[in-house]
Amino acid sequence: MHQPESVTIIIPAFNAARFIKRAVASALQQANVAEVIVVDDASSDDTVEVVRSLAQEDSRVRLVRLCANVGPSAARNMAIRAATSAWIATLDADDAFGPGRIESLLQLARSHSAEMIADNLVYFDGRAQKALGPSVHPEPRIQEITLEKLFRSTPDGGQDYVTLVPMINRSFLSDHAILFDEQIRNGEDFDIVARCLVAGAKYVADLAQETYLYTSRASGTSQTVLNANVVVKQTLAWLSHPEFKKRPDRLRIVHERVEILRRRELDRLAGDPAGPGRGAILRLALRTPEGRRWLQDWVIARLRPTNS
């Protein structure tokens, strides 16, 4: 049995041969790491061979190989069930941990008696090999992430709390029978964090610690792509949750999140030179109340006179 502050790092991997070595190496350099479980989700490249080689070099690396592709949620659940440590830390195969991440998070957990702890996520350009900046404004440094903060997450003003990647106490997950929802392939991180918060987890983040390196889409190496329509549908499902139905305050934050998601998607489409075109964006905006409000703001912004 591992020590109370031991950590299992779980890495779901699909066709990750080009970057899995970087992810695993960044995990193994951390203090208190008892095991790194890589779940190969039926890759067709050399991911398995690369991980097997890493396992020969360090016995803490464990490979779980799946015969069929099951998606990131099911792959992570396989690793959680196989884990033996006190804490679970997730790492995407194309991302990396900065030095000292795990040790600092464990100290944060001790200081605040928290079941979930996180650092700040920093966007990292894999091609240029440089950090691009954090996802959340680092002041105040220590923040408790509540359900309200999670649902109201937005890049505006540096409040994108949903991007944080928390380490979670394994006993808390076990005691509340919480795993990743295997029906979800987009937004699975938001879902499990929200369910932990509803179950009573205390979630604390040190936002001055920028040690989760997310490989940005702009660098061309991240495989993470979100489907906005799917994520909106998953958000609306919270309206029927037993802990939400009789709470006007919680119903309100669900609708606020839907508004944020739909506005972000329309902003993305409107700013994409290779996007669907203004006619298609107009039709999309007119389909929902949130879209119509976005369209009104978009028109007003363009009619507003600019200083010459």
Q: Check whether 178 has a pLDDT greater than 70.
A: yes
Q: What is the mean pLDDT of residues 263-287?
A: 87
Rounded distance between C-alpha atoms, residue 287 and residue 270, angstroms: 16
226: confidence class by pLDDT, cuts 50, 70, 90: low
79: confidence class by pLDDT, cuts 50, 70, 90: very high
List 277's β-bridge partners, or say none: none
Q: Which domains does the chain have, with CATH numbers?
A: 7-219 (3.90.550.10), 228-303 (no CATH)
Torsion of CA 274, 279, 285, 286, to 10 degrees: -170
Q: Dmax over Cα atoms in the chain, in whole Å?
A: 69
**pLDDT for 227:** 75
Helix (H) or strand (E) holding 150: helix 147-151
Rounded distance between C-alpha atoms, residue 265 and residue 5, angstroms: 40
Three-state secondary structure call for residue 155: coil
| 73: CB partners within 8 A, 6+ apart | 180, 181, 182, 183, 184, 185, 188
Q: What is the mean pLDDT of residues 224-244?
A: 86
Q: Check whether 38 has a pLDDT greater than 60.
A: yes
Which amino acid would we find at residue 217?
R
Q: What is the mean pLDDT of residues 63-77?
A: 95
pLDDT mean across residues, the chain: 91
Q: What is the mean pLDDT of residues 92-108?
A: 97
Q: What is the mean pLDDT of residues 111-138?
A: 91
